[in-house]
Amino acid sequence: METVAQTPKYSLNEEQERKLILREYRSLLRSLKSKIKPGDKDLLRRAFEVSAEAHKTMRRKSGEPYILHPLAVAKVCVEEIGLGVRSTICALMHDTVEDTDVTLEDIEREFGNEIARIVDGLTKISNVIDVNASQQAENFKKILLTLTDDPRVILIKLADRLHNMRTLESMKREKQLKIASETVYVYAPLAHRMGLYNIKTEMEDLAMKYMEPETYRDIAQKLAETKRERSKFINEFIKPIKEKLEKNQFKFEIYGRPKSIHSISSKMKKKGVDFEEVYDLFAIRVILDSPPEKEKEDCWKVYSMITDEYTPAPERLRDWLSNPKSNGYEALHTTVMGPQGKWVEVQIRTKRMNEIAEKGLAAHWKYKEETSDESRFEKWFQQIREMISGQETDSIDFLQDFKTSFLAEEIYVYTPKGDVKMLPVGSTALDFAFAIHSAIGVKTIGAKVNHKLVPLSHKLRSGDQIEIITSNKQKPSEDWLGFVVTAKAKGRIKDALKEEKKKIGDEGKYAVQRKLEGMNAAMNQHNIDELVQWYKLPSHADLFYQVAIKNIDLKDLKEFKVTGDKIEAPKPVKIFDTKPEYNPQHHTITRKDTELIIFGESSDKIVYNLANCCKPIPGDDVFGFITTGKGLTIHRTNCPNAAKLLASYGHRVVKTKWAKNKEISFLTGLKIVGMDDVGVVNKITSLISGDLKINIAAITIEAKEGLFEGNIKLYVHDKEELDELVQRLKDLPGIESVERYDTEDIS
């Protein structure tokens, strides 16, 4: 489905625009009122004037004056993140250095070094997400260096990104996809890590609105339709708890709030259920007004009252009071069985905790003086500093490493002496060894978790106690990279392997030198380059290593020509295959046969592949992606790999949409679950082949304990046909669920 946004009709005259801009500026000052000290007003006025002047000829895609964007970003910083005057000045100026004639020197002269440094950080980030992937990772590193220098840079950047997402309407479709997927891939997790939950969920919801518009609209509509009965249920649930809290003289707020569309959609995908079956569509929140010394005690008292009234699911208790998350989040979560047999999630926190949950880092610092605990944020920044300084790779993997190491949820594990270590979810015993010290990591031969011997790849869980066993004879091996998730472990293992490879490569280097000298050629840059190219290797080091481990036989060199002391590789002979092999997965687009339109291409023929990870069919929301060596691959926008591809390699995305074509069929697959009943297979096949005349490629049905699970591969023309089939199958008696394969390779 094509949803190219149209530029909204923008119709304000100059005078109206001036009034609108001033109104927004005054509204920003009102938001800042409590934080403005003497002299601040003049600085703010000056920042506004510099920005307005610098951007005065510029317009946004929607047609409105550009200055409205910095004003909106500054407002998000103040109202939604809780930042102060200096950050507001930086937000007003965040685009000036990049887009206008204003220089960093001008800003430093006018506003001082601190503000200039933050604006410089913001300018570096703006150049981040483009050019090519490795460049992008480099730039991303720069952001993180600035982040550890002054976290306000990231907070202002998140405000900027949030406003861009809120105004994504007027962008072109491919730009929408690129920005939305980048947001889901990098910025939403970063907001989460900064403790900005509201911003994180809004970003995810807005991204979904553009990446999976149909699912988004569908869930939004269903949420609206069920609002009344939800409110009724929430009131019924809250009533007895409210009475108990009042009786015990607690000062509190209690309310229910719906879960975000994105999280409901994730639940539906993960559990394979329909909207109606997602049990936690909302959470109940209890916010207590407690003095600092009684916070913990009060939260547990309230927990006890709630679980007296409703039975809890013990495995769903989350205690972030005793062990706050590293982004400062503190709360008590429990899931209880409410009225009408429905599970309900309840979150208990105090006003202070609630402010930290909503404003993250900024609120965290506000309360920092009150706690003696070394801030977990500080530890987190320290780890990032280590990772960045320790990595000299051009790291295409950098973004991925950063995500798994620093943006994942964390677990808490213990050393044999009882010291606590924080690691990302998915960490293994080997990650733990490297977290203790690199020198221990490289010598690790085994580990004991809770006193039992486990393999190095053993995944750790919160609360585990780990003892590492080392040996001086141990050396890291290539397969270690396959199961560690922390950037520190990956970096150190790669360094150790490189070192080892270089040692082995030195032997290969001598072999190459002897061979070249034997041919009366020199061991020089040109000759080595010639060999590297001939063997299609990435570097000199790889050539020497491959020679040393006997993967390359230097006898091949007798084919080379020697002129003076230079060698020249023989020209490869081209063999023409007269009859190309037919591959049904390869579709060639011609004038007559346009089931896929690719924009911006005028050639008669474009060969493209349909991605195996998501098997698109006509009617799906798709984008084209240029793959090295494979040409154009078509993915669904909700493909599991889409966010990563679009965020990391946005420049390779090609805008595509389907055109109607009934001649070509596409292979897709359905998974059907239902009651094991006599004749069920017959009902299914006669509906598919008989009623709808759809070709079945393969069908397998397994019955077990009164249930059957069927996997059907079939050829359909487009998504409409598939949707109709799914609906008709769901209407058959005894059918529980019908789902399209999402990620399975069904070729």
- Tell which of 494, 528, 558 closes a domain: 494
CATH code for the domain in which residue 268 is found: 3.30.460.10
CB 189 within 8 A of CB 174: no
Element housing 159 (H / E): helix 152-166
8 within some domain: no
Residues 178 and 38 in one domain: yes
One-letter amino acid for residue 468 of the chain = I
CB 384 within 8 A of CB 398: no
pLDDT score, position 128: 47
Of the candidates 24, 2, 20, the one whose C-alpha atom is nearest the C-alpha of residue 11 is 20
Residues 364 and 481 in one domain: no
574 within some domain: no
Q: What is the DSSP string of 515-576?
A: HHHHTT----HHHHHHHHHHTT-S-HHHHHHHHHTTSS-GGGGGGSEEETTEEEPPPPPP--
- pTM flag (> 0.75): no
CATH code for the domain in which residue 395 is found: 3.10.20.30
Residues 50 and 109 in one domain: yes
CATH code for the domain in which residue 671 is found: 3.30.70.260
Is 355 catalytic? The answer is: no
Residues 190 and 70 in one domain: yes
Residues 624 and 709 in one domain: no
1 within some domain: no
479 within some domain: yes
Phi, psi of 287, deg, nearest 5? -115, 120
- Tell which of 183, 211, 239 closes a domain: 211
Residues 555 and 487 in one domain: no
pLDDT along the chain (747 residues), means of 10: 42 83 92 87 91 86 87 92 88 85 88 86 59 49 60 85 91 85 82 84 93 91 88 92 93 89 86 77 90 92 94 87 80 90 90 83 56 53 62 53 65 85 88 91 90 89 89 86 87 86 83 82 82 79 81 76 76 40 38 41 56 81 76 81 74 70 75 81 83 84 82 85 88 85 52
570-576: long-range contacts (C-beta < 8 A, 24 or more apart)? Answer: none
Is 293 catalytic? The answer is: no
Round to whole Å and give the CA distance between 430 and 485.
9
CATH code for the domain in which residue 118 is found: 1.10.3210.10
One-letter amino acid for residue 65 of the chain = P
57 within some domain: yes
Residues 647 and 680 in one domain: no
> Measured in whole angstroms, how far is the alpha carbon of residue 461 from the centre of its chain?
23
Round to whole Å and give the CA distance between 100 and 130.
20
Q: Who contacts 22 (Cβ-Cβ below 8 Å, separation ≥6)?
A: none
CB 324 within 8 A of CB 374: no
Residues 553 and 684 in one domain: no
> Measured in whole angstroms, how far is the alpha carbon of residue 499 from the centre of its chain?
33
Q: Tell me how many domains the chain contains.
A: 6
Query: Which position has the token pair 């529980």?
Result: 736
Residues 486 and 509 in one domain: no
- Tell which of 322, 354, 370 closes a domain: 370
Residue 631 zone, left/alpha/beta (φ > 0; ψ -120 to 50; rest): left
Of the candidates 548, 570, 558, 551, the one whose C-alpha atom is nearest the C-alpha of residue 515 is 558
9 within some domain: no
622 within some domain: yes
Residues 358 and 397 in one domain: no
Of the candidates 420, 440, 439, 441, the one whose C-alpha atom is nearest the C-alpha of residue 486 is 441
Phi, psi of 675, deg, nearest 5? -75, 135
Both tokens assigned to 336: 């209880």
Residues 415 and 466 in one domain: yes
Q: Which residue in 98, 106, 120, 530 is the catalytic one?
A: 98
Q: Which domain, by its residues, includes 535?
A: 495-568
Q: Which residue in 17, 99, 110, 114 is the catalytic one?
A: 99
Residues 141 and 68 in one domain: yes
Round to whole Å and give the CA distance between 488 and 438.
8
723 within some domain: yes
